[in-house]
Amino acid sequence: MDREATDDTTIAVLGADETNLDVLRAMPGHERQRFVPVLTPEEMQLGEVSVPDLLDRAVATLDERETPVDAIVGFWDFPISTLVPLLARHYDLHSAPLSAVVKCEHKYWSRLEQQKVTDAYPRFGLVDLDEPRLPDGIEFPVWLKPVKSYSSELAFHVRDAQQFADAMAEIADGVGRLGRPFEWVLDQVDLPREIAEVGGQACLVEQAMTGARAATEGYVHDGRVVVYGVLDSIPYPQRSSFLRHQYPSQLPERVQRELVDVSERVIAQVGLDWTTFSVEFFCDPDSGAVSVLEINPRHSQSHAELFADVDGIANHHAMVELALGHDPDMPRGKGPYEIAAKWYHRRFDDGVVRRVPTAEEIARIERDIPGVRLSPVPQEGQRLSEMPAQDSYSYELTDVIVGARDEAELVAKYESAVAALDYEFD
């Protein structure tokens, strides 16, 4: 990392928000790098996006600069995940191959690739949007989801025929929002016949998985796959919505070794290179069995401050170093805390937000509870169901980052912080 302290380099950040820009600028060894925002998160994620239009606007913005940028990065899902390799190819910069990114992003194609190197996946198939029925060999309960989605948008846990019919109606109505622009990206890739026939507006069904949730994060440097962290993904009791992501994982070591092994195999199979990645899993802590939920061709920006708290630098470091053509060499255990988590303080009923905590109230809570950082999500006057990028069952109120000595202190700090937050709803 010392190398970067003397470098004057410029990195274009697609869809940059102020929180992540602050994290990037605070990373040790990156102080002299300039992080230049290109396009806004709202342009990237609201409504039905046009990938060629976003590509043209990004190129125009970059071409207006007096000096070229040294790297292009992004840590959000589609369309940013595919714009990064498209722009990097245009400017001859380091990036993952577009084809490898698409293999991960197309949920059905990803399953076909996983089949080639592991049996750690659920039974799966496609459901016809016009004449929906479960494929042979798959029984309720199942998960239904478009072959292209993010943040669990239009993902439904279905237990019976009526729920199946209702979910399929919603998916058929909304699949085009991401499916249509994703098909433009598919047209830029040499597709196998079975994927070309499926396209980007289709529905995947998977046998529902059970067990503990976990994720790995890593990177690929010049063909070498490195897993640098295993995290726990803990849902709300009796619900599918995430309560928190915590790092490092508290799972048994043999389970963590299996998570790492499967991650290395599936990432090598899809052909990712010069990029970070994350792989989400279900696992059984007792038997050691693991099952891949999905492969993401990017690291999780939600985990950035967790790695900074525990290891001493955010996982954004790996993304930036790879984009510059360097080996990230992620540190371990150099941070101020033993464990850290990002909590998702949620509401499970719709409503209009009449009051959010003030900046002064947030500052007081953060001052009173060391290691806690709070970010309210909705705005005053906003209807929760109109917020973008929410899952199908809940609405985020507050992102809560907590660093602690152990898991017990982690929970205690979160509960104290949430109890002090004052929201009001109609």
Beta pairing partners, 401: 342, 373
Dihedral over alpha carbons 13, 16, 22, 26 (to 10 degrees): -20
What angle (nearest 5°) sits at the alpha carbon of residue 247, between those of residues 244 and 249?
Answer: 95
Q: Identity (one letter) of the amino acid at 101? A: V
d(CA 296, CA 299): 7
d(CA 144, CA 402): 33
DSSP 8-state class, residue 371: T
DSSP 8-state class, residue 189: S
d(CA 24, CA 217): 18
Report residue 191 as tokens. 């597709």
d(CA 128, CA 202): 7
Beta pairing partners, 204: 126, 145
Query: What pLDDT is stored for residue 150 in this prediction?
Result: 77
d(CA 372, CA 362): 10
Q: What sign does the CA torsion over 247, 154, 241, 209 have?
A: negative
Beta pairing partners, 156: 144
Query: What pLDDT is stored for residue 7 in this prediction?
Result: 61
Each residue's pLDDT, cut to its tens digit, for the chain (426 residues) gives 343 443 689 999 999 999 999 999 999 999 999 999 999 888 876 667 899 999 999 999 999 999 999 999 999 999 999 999 999 999 999 999 999 999 999 999 999 999 999 999 999 999 999 999 999 999 999 999 999 987 778 999 999 999 999 999 999 999 999 999 999 999 999 999 999 999 999 999 999 999 999 999 999 999 999 999 999 999 999 888 899 999 999 999 999 999 999 999 999 999 999 999 999 999 999 999 999 999 999 999 999 999 999 999 999 999 999 999 999 999 999 999 999 999 999 999 999 999 999 999 999 999 999 999 999 999 999 999 999 878 878 999 999 999 999 999 999 999 999 999 999 999
Instruction: Report helix, strand or coil for 319.
Output: helix
- How many CB atoms sit inside 10 A of residue 305's CB? 27
d(CA 364, CA 119): 50
Q: Could you tell me how far CA 354 lies from the centroid of its own chain? A: 30
Contact at 8 Å (CB) between 376 and 347? no
Length of the chain: 426
Q: What sign does the CA torsion over 274, 183, 43, 395 have?
A: negative
Query: What pLDDT is stored for residue 4 in this prediction?
Result: 42
From the CA atom positions of the chain, what is the Rg in Å? 21
Phi, then psi, of 182 in degrees rounded to 5: -65, -30
Contact at 8 Å (CB) between 14 and 82? no
Q: 223: which residues sit within 8 A by CB, 6+ positions away? A: 273
Query: What pLDDT is stored for residue 3 in this prediction?
Result: 39
All structural domains of the chain, each given as residue ranges with its CATH number in brackets, are: 2-101 (3.40.50.20), 123-207 (3.30.1490), 212-425 (3.30.470.20)
